[in-house]
Every structure is written in structure tokens, then in C-alpha cells.
Amino acid sequence: MPIESINPYDGNRVRIYDEHSDEAVGEIVGSAHRAFEDWRARSFDERAGVVRKAAAILRAEKEAFAELMALEMGKPVAQGRAEAEKSAWVLDYYAENAEAFLSEETVETNAVASHVVFEPLGVVLAVMPWNFPFWQVFRFAAPALMAGNTGVLKHASNVSGSALAIEDVFGRAGAPAGVFGVVLVPGRRVGRLIEDPRVRAVTLTGSTPAGKAVASQAGAVLKKTVLELGGSDPYLILDDADLEKTAADCAFARLINGGQSCIAAKRFIVLESIRARFEELFCEAMSRRTMGDPLDEKTLIGPQARHDLRDELHDQVVRSTRAGARLLLGGEIPSGAGAFYPPTVLTDVRPGMPAYDDELFGPVASVIGVADEDEAIRVANDTVFGLGAAVYTSDADQAARVVAALEAGSCFINGFVRSDPRLPFGGIKESGYGRELSSYGIREFVNVKTVCRIA
């Protein structure tokens, strides 16, 4: 069946792609498998040369890539340019550091000599989402390829153009045929890819249900997985926080990428003594973010990526208000074309409401009032997710105490949660397992091999 890409701003078709046949998919995987032996044998410097050229292409052509992202999933072009730049950063980072991260480690034992080496596994299958169509891919590809693995990408269908553009970037950068390939298939065919014996490992960024399905399929054939899944990041605002800065930070963190981010701020847990003032400042900051054409430089919020996702989000808001949440801002689907949803703030949010229990993947904020620090921590951890968290306070001791109690893969103090190539990134609980980025990320898809000489 054809794969269709629809512009969420005007509803027009961007392009139709032919779904790959089983034979074509087999050839793409086979090409990656055949390329592995040559690629792994190349020096780190040789691999880095390709990866650095890919980074240079991203920077030189960021305008075109930003426009492509805007057309396929509604990302404002300014944010698309930043995504291309960040993708180039992660490529350069691993080109510079991969050899040191994977250098042989000598271990003192009773043997004559013993050491640990890190060797690539082979073909890594990446199942990637639409919300950061370039960054998510390069976040996996930079360490995987620098470690000597080859990659096969199954991207979200609505960003097939981005997938093919990334494949082209690596090709023009000098990657040998097969080192990085793209399969155009729907999600229902991922299981067969995982079962292919030439695929040695799987990484997925996406929803928790998708992660559970991939983990089950990969587990059945004993293949390593790294899963970065959903999140409902809590932001704890304590009574000595700088409220004007905090409100501005929180609005930015909730609305980046139209709120369509696993590590976007989602639940704002505020001490009752300052809640009214925070809500006032927060609503002001949220209301200043303008919606519009993602190709317009002035646009801060584009449409949601698809109409069905926008409608699901609105249903979560409606069900929350019916259960007693109070609407402070937004909450109505605007008239006209485009999958738009306005910046929305809900307060008096309690357990049992979608705004409390579920991930809201769009520009909707949940404000939850609490009596004290202990209740703030309890509410923050009262979720199946554990991706990111932030705390705002001017008391360094209090910040350290709170962070130590939070159940999350990343915790930020007086700043919004973000990813950085130099720091490990991932979650716990139903936000997944494994780590990407930094030295931890590149060691996920290698064989940690012990070598001992006894005599």
C-alpha cells in the first residue's frame, strides 16, 4: 500500500511513497549485513571522516531540512534549523570521542593479562518517531555507526521524506552502500524485521505501548533493545522559586515542538502558597506563544502533527474538565484548516483524570497544587513514567534533597529538561530502559568482551 505524507498545516498531500516489498526490505537488511564486516574493520578516523561530513551537510543545508520538517509534521522552521544544528553536534561529538569511549580497558587480575574490549554487534534496527524526525535518528546513528555497527531505519510513515533525506546525507558523506539504509514499511511489519537473524539489536523511541510490543518481540528472539518511551515530566515549583523566570521556563518547556516531546514539561506541581501567582504568570507566558504557518519565521507553535492526534488530545482535556479540572486557558479547537490546538492550562488536576494519569502529547499543561515538599515529591512520583523532572527553588540543599527523591532518568534544577550529547539520556519505569548519548549510549550496542591470558 502507498505511504502518504500529509501537511498538517493545510491538509494537502506532501508526497506518496511506495511501501517496500518483503523482497526490497530483505535486500536493504542484507546490504546492511554485508556492509558490516568492512565498516567495522575501518579505523575510527575513517568512520569519523564520514560522520563529520554528514554533520557538515546538515549545517550547510539546514534551511531545506527545516522546510521538510515543517511540511511533513508542522515544526516551525526556526525549530527545524535548531534540530538540524543539534543533529550535526551529536555527529561531531561522537566523531571526536568514540575512540576514547571504546578504548581497551586493562583490568588487574590473577591472570598474566586481562582486559576488556568493546566490539560492534552488527545491524541495528532503529524504529523512530515523527516528533523530532532528524534528531531522534542521528541520536541513534552517530554512536551506532562510530562503534562500527550498521543501521536500518524504520521511521514514522508521515516523515518518510525526512528518513530518505537522512539516508541521502550519509550517502553523500561517503558512507559505503548498506551502512545506513531506510525501509518504508508500516508499524505492523516491524515484527518481521526484528525476527530477521541479520538484525542484531533494536532501538526504539516512541510510545509506551509501542515499546512494550517491540520489547516483547525482541525478547522472544533474545535481541538487545534500548527503549526511550513516553513521559509525563513533573516540574516542582517550591515557595522560594523565582516565579517570573520559572513561569517563563515552564511555558517554553511545555510548548517546545508544539508540546509534542517526551521530555516536555507536563505536570506543574506547585505549593499552594504560591499557586495563584504562578498560575497568573504561567497563563500570561503561555498565551504569548503564537500559532501559525510553520514556514513563517514568526510562528512559535505549528499545528499538531496529525488531526487524529490533535483530536485525541482534545478528548483528554474534555474528559479532565468533566471530572472536575478547571480550564484557565485554551481548551477549544480553533476554527479553520490545520491540526492546531491552542496553549492550554488546566488546574485543580487530580488522580483519575487524563490530565493527571496520562501523557498529554501536545500544548496542554496540568497544574497540581500541593501543601509542602513531601507532597510535591509524592505527586511527582505518582506516575507510571520516569523520564525527566525539574525542581525550581533558590535553596541548594532543598534542591539536592528533592532531586535525590525523584524517580526519573534526568533531573534538572532551575532549568528545563533537555538532552545533551555529553550526558546520558533515558528513563525508568514505563519510560523505558537503556541510555542514549554520552559514553553510556555508545556502549549499549557493543559486545563488552573479556579477554584473559592465563599463561
Q: Which residues fall within 8 angstroms of residue 352, CB to CB, at 6 or more apart? A: 323
Between CA 270 and CA 276 the distance in angstroms is: 9
Query: Is 359 within 8 Å of 232 (Cβ atoms)?
Result: yes
Active-site option among 72, 167, 262, 407: 262
- Here the cell at position 10 is 493545510
In the annotation, is 262 catalytic? yes
Between CA 155 and CA 332 the distance in angstroms is: 31
Active-site option among 228, 279, 359, 373: 228
In the annotation, is 67 catalytic? no
Residue type (1 letter), 313: L
Dihedral of CA atoms 15, 255, 410, 159 in degrees, nearest 10, equals 0
- DSSP code of residue 366: E
Q: Which residues fall within 8 angstroms of residue 84, CB to CB, at 6 or more apart? A: 58, 59, 61, 62, 65, 66, 134
Strands (E), 24-72: none
Residue type (1 letter), 370: V
Segment (H or E) for 446: strand 446-453
Which residues are part of the catalytic machinery?
228, 262
